[in-house]
Chains A and B, each alone.
Chain A
Amino acid sequence: MNLALSDEQEFLREAARGALSRFKTLEAAREALDAQQGGGGGGQLPDLWPTACEAGWPGLLIDESHGGAGLDAFDAMLVLGECGRVLAGVPLLGHLPASAILADAPRVAEYLPKLASGERRAAYLPAQPPGDVDPHWSADPAHGMQRAPLAGGSAPDANGEVKLSGSYAFVPDAPGADVLVGVALVDGEPAGVVIMADAEGVHVQSVRGYDSTRSLAHVTLTQAPATVLDAPVESLAGAWHLAQALIAAESIGSVETALEVSVAYAKERHTFGRAIGSYQAVKHSLTEVLRQLENGRSLLYYAGWSRNGAPGEFALAASSARSVAGRALDTAARTMISVHGGIGATWEHDAPLYFRRAQLSRRLLGGTAGATDRVAGELIAQADAAAA
């Protein structure tokens, strides 16, 4: 039993914090929002991919024989946590689940070294595996509550090539990606697919918006050429759960900063002759953020460990981490605003940047609510098994 960071993991986290501290990510986020609102300025976010490549992050989940670091989900989650702390837009949420699928597909192993080095960047086309109520694979819809079907194509040719048509909405980090990796219905069956982003029939429409730090796109495929992968279906489902674990880790990083900034302000701001943090109303709302943060942290350990330590529990672990972390970020961002009073709701402060992050994040990758529903489904299945 050992639920603590190893020395190597401490080092990985410190190195990530150090590397990201060289960029003024929060200022850049505000400027990008300014630019969107016609406030002038270039609004360009810093390109953090070279930093990621230098640190070896693109190859975190690729084994060493293919040029990667051969590390596990928890290590990747530590890096995402550091990104979340400073709202850094490092395109790992798209790249890492894609690399995890390709790492499980021996026929395309030749892709791995360039993905590991970051010379080529991948984005994951999110595909939600079947649950106990909905028996189908599905994609995030562009609008509304109804889940969307995956892209599909007829049987592959002798080279394993297939033409795919369909769409994936709100794909993280798709703008500028070289390779798209995901799940499609090939001859009616779910299969892993890889698509060159510059191929004919591939349309990547950027939808950067409410959270300026988050790069997203709607991907539309029209008879687009794709290669069918020999990754097992568990790996395809695993990529979805990995994405849940990564966004959970990223969210918990943002909660950490939101809480630290709020606590510091509650100690220095005085009203009626005393620090506002001495009032129970303020103190209790901050401890509530801490409570949710600690719960989220504990579940990050569970998710990070279970991917290899107990694969049968990874869906439950990652979904519960996402569920708790997503709600923690909502609470932390709103508390950050209310503890700061009026200034917290203005662009003078960083709080709106965390609020925007919270608002958009909870609706991506199946949504926090989708993860919560999967927790229920997994536990109902466990209860059924226990009763049988």
Chain B
Amino acid sequence: MDLDDTPEQAEHRAKVRAWLEQHRGEAPVLSGPGALTDEAEIVSARRAWQGKLAEAGLAGVTWPKEYGGRGLGPIEQVVCNQEIARAGVPGILDAIGVGMLGPTIIAHGSEEQKARYLGPMLHGDEVWCQLFSEPAAGSDLAAVQTRARLMDDGSWRLSGQKVWTTNAQFSSYGLLLARTDADVPKHKGLTMFVVPMDAAGVTVRGLRQISGEAEFNEVFFDDVQLEADAVLGGVGNGWGTALTTLMFERVTIGLGGEGLGYNSVRFAGGVASDEHARRDPEVRRALGEISSELLAVRFTGYRTLTALQRGQIPGPEAGLAKVTIVNGAIKAGELIADVIGPDALAKDSQWAYMISFLPGLKSAGGTEEILRNTIGERVLGLPPEPRLDKGIPFSELRSKEGAAA
């Protein structure tokens, strides 16, 4: 057991650190004095910065060399992330593309698709978004209703709505899960598509959240035409392709928990500035309970990393870390706001945004309830809830649901 770098990792870290020392001045400033405020400027500066990080080999570290990556292990990517955080510069803009969608294309895409899409994605020339969730298909993702119909000429027509789409407003492409056959059980009639976001019939609308900011979007598809080569991973194989993306999502969450800024020292700082609070037994007890769990998640991440290094794939138990982080941060927000008072909710308070953001995060990547079901069944081996949708053609599900209610 060892938390230190191996000599190879230490050498890699030194090189990454040296590059960042030399180039940190080129990174966009996102907070503090001189920070960029215009969204278009921020996006273009971050895309350029992503290109530099990719050029220097600090992004897409685990991608194969032939697609512009370095063919290294997850630990080397984590070292890069740690050094980027240490240098106080932003990471890549398109973490969803490079972390989750790119690896899905690498796993399921044709050679033409890999050659066409991966390079510009990695360098930030083309940003990607994930078009999976819908208003009526979130935790139950296989219930998506967005339809893609096959035309006689081999092209497709796409209609429907997606939601919770990060970065859609400036994305070039989206990876979209659509129903292509409603007459088979719901997991079987799905297909994954590459969708150009500038195609006719695509509409992106910002979705304002509790904070007042719109970090997500709704995306509408009105008879959008897609060519035959837009299919990724084969017609009817969409669910298997989606599972690959979700697996990489778990890896990202498992390794990046504290990247959200929900860490124990920051929260301790939230109460430490108050002379009374820092000695108050009730405050200390709450802080200690919250922080010890958040600290645990850091080491759960190291355990995940160890498993990855040994070629094991993280299982659904990584979802437990997400439950701990979100609930811990919610309690920390309550505690800190109780200590500070209403000022914690003021517009310029760092805590107001966090407090507003967290209730939604509880449902992101699958609701807490669904995560607990999945983990109870897949990790503990408990019997599943009785289901009404097994083996039933998707087109008949609605009437079945109605009858059961």
A contact residues vs B (CB 8 Å cutoff): 1-6, 9, 74, 132-133, 259, 263, 266-267, 274-275, 277-280, 282-284, 286-288, 290-291, 294-299, 301-302, 304-305, 309-310, 316, 319-321, 323-324, 327, 369, 371-377, 379-380, 382-384, 386-387
Question: Once bound together, how far apart are the Cα atoms of A316 and B3, in whole Å?
Answer: 16
B310 within 8 Å of A by Cβ?
yes
Given contacts A4-B306, A310-B3, A323-B289, 6 further A-B contacts (CB under 8 A): A1-B3, A4-B307, A305-B2, A319-B292, A375-B288, A379-B265
On whether the beta carbons of B1 and A2 are closer than 8 Å, the reply is yes
Q: Does B309 contact A (CB under 8 A)?
A: yes
Stretch with Cβ within 8 A of A (4 or more), from B36-44, B186-194, B205-213, B277-285: B277-285
Name the residue in A299, A319, A386 with the highest tally of chain B Cβ atoms < 10 Å from its Cβ. A299
Shortest Cβ distance from residue A292 to the other chain B in the assembled complex, whole angstroms: 8
Which residues of A sit under 8 angstroms from B291, Cβ to Cβ? Answer: 320, 375-376, 379
A3 & B302 in contact (Cβ 8 Å cutoff): yes
Q: In the complex, which of the residues B273, B292, B306 has the most CB atoms of chain A within 10 Å of its own CB atom?
A: B292
> A324 contacts which chain B residues (CB < 8 A)?
292-293, 296
- Could you mark each residue 1-30 of chain B with 1 if its beta carbon is under 8 Å from any beta carbon of chain A, else 0? 111111001000000000000000000000
State how many angstroms separate the Cβ of B111 from the closest Cβ of chain A.
34
Assuming the contacts A299-B292, A373-B284, A375-B288, asked whether A380 and B317 have C-beta atoms less than 8 A apart, the reply is no
Measured between beta carbons, the chain B residues less than 8 angstroms from A5 are: 1
Please judge, given known A-B contacts A1-B302, A284-B369, A302-B295, whether A290 and B380 are in contact too, CB under 8 Å: yes
How many residue pairs bridge A and B at CB < 8 Å?
Answer: 193
* Chain B min CB distance to A143 (Å): 19
Q: Using Cβ atoms and an 8 Å threshold, which residues of chain A touch B373?
A: 280, 283-284
1/0 contact trace for B218-232 toward A, CB 8 Å? 000000000000000
Nearest-neighbor residue (CB-CB) of B292 within chain A:
A320
**A-contacting 9-mer, from B112-120, B121-129, B383-391:** B383-391
Q: Contact check, B293 vs A372: say whether CB atoms are below 8 A apart.
A: no
CA distance A309 to B285 in the complex (A): 27
| B178-210 to A contact mask, C-beta < 8 Å, 1/0 | 000000000000000000000000000000000
Interface centre among A274, A275, A290 (most CB of B within 10 A): A290
Evaluate contact between B2 and A1: CB separation under 8 angstroms: yes
Q: Could you tell me if A372 and B324 are in contact, using CB atoms closer than 8 angstroms?
A: no
Q: Which chain B residue shows the least CB distance to A266?
A: B382
Residue B320 at the A interface, CB < 8 A? yes
The complex places the Cα of A373 from the Cα of B289 at a distance, in Å, of: 9
- List, in ascending order, chain B residues with CB within 8 A of A267's CB: 381-383
Measured CB to CB, the nearest residue on chain A to B374 is A287
Partner of A299, one of B299, B323, B375, B382: B299
Write out the residue numbers on chain A whose beta carbons fall within 8 Å of the beta carbon of B340: none
Q: A319 contacts which chain B residues (CB < 8 A)?
A: 288, 292
B323 nearest CB neighbor, chain A only: A291
Interface of B is mostly: helix
Whole-angstrom distance between the Cβ of B168 and the nearest chain A Cβ? 33
Q: Does B379 contact A (CB under 8 A)?
A: yes
Contact with A along B347-377 (1 / 0, CB 8 A): 0000000000000000000000100110111
- Residues of A within 8 Å of B271, CB to CB, are 380
Contact of B383 among A274, A297, A387 (CB under 8 A): A274
Within B279-336, the residues touching A (CB, 8 Å) are 279, 281, 283-285, 287-289, 291-293, 295-300, 302-303, 305-307, 309-310, 317, 320, 323-324
Q: How far is the CB of B227 from the nearest CB of chain A, in Å?
A: 44
Contact for A295 among B283, B297, B376, CB less than 8 A: B297
Known: A3-B299, A284-B369. A309 touches B288 (CB 8 A): no
Residues of B within 8 A of A282 (CB): 382
Proximity string of chain B (260-285) to chain A, C-beta cutoff 8 Å, 1 when within and 0 when not? 00001111110111000011010111
A348 to B271, CA, bound (A): 48
Q: How many residues of B contact A (CB 8 A)?
A: 61
Q: List 22 A-B residue pairs with CB atoms under 8 Å apart, sorted by A's residue number.
A: A1-B3, A1-B305, A2-B309, A5-B1, A263-B380, A278-B386, A283-B376, A295-B297, A295-B324, A298-B303, A299-B292, A299-B296, A301-B303, A302-B296, A305-B2, A324-B296, A327-B289, A375-B288, A376-B283, A376-B288, A383-B266, A387-B272
State whether A379 and B3 are in contact (beta carbons under 8 Å apart), knowing that A278-B385, A291-B324, A320-B296 are contacts in the complex.
Answer: no
Q: How far is B375's CA from A380's CA once the two chains are assembled, in angstroms?
A: 34
Instruction: Report the minimal beta-carbon distance from A243 to chain B, rounded to whole angstroms.
Output: 17
Complex CA–CA separation, A148 to B348 (angstroms): 46
Whether A302 contacts B372 in the complex (CB less than 8 A), given A3-B306, A373-B285, comes out as no
CA distance A267 to B272 in the complex (A): 47
Using an 8 Å CB-CB cutoff, how does the interface string of B387-399 with A read, 1 for contact, 0 for none? Answer: 0000000000000
Contacts A283-B372, A320-B291, A376-B291 hold; do A296 and B3 have CB atoms under 8 A apart? no
> With the chains together, A371 CA to B1 CA distance in Å?
24
3 A-B pairs closest in CB distance? A372-B288, A295-B296, A320-B292
Q: How far does the Cβ of A194 sit from chain B's closest Cβ, in whole Å? A: 31
Q: From residue A295, how far is it (CB to closest CB) to chain B in Å?
A: 4
Instruction: Report B-chain residues with C-beta under 8 Å of the C-beta of A302.
Output: 295-296, 299
CA distance A133 to B2 in the complex (A): 33
- Cβ-defined partner of A305 (8 Å) among B1, B269, B305, B323: B1
Which of A5, A284, A296 has the largest count of B CB atoms less than 10 A from its CB? A284
Q: Which of A4, A74, A280, A310 has the most CB of B within 10 A?
A: A4
Smallest CB-CB separation from A387: which chain B residue? B269
Q: Contacts A1-B2, A2-B1, A283-B372 hold; do A373 and B281 have CB atoms under 8 A apart?
A: yes
State how many angstroms separate the Cβ of B175 from the closest Cβ of chain A.
30
Q: Quote the shortest CB–CB distance from A117 to chain B (angstroms).
A: 27
Q: Let me know if B287 and A379 touch, CB within 8 A.
A: yes
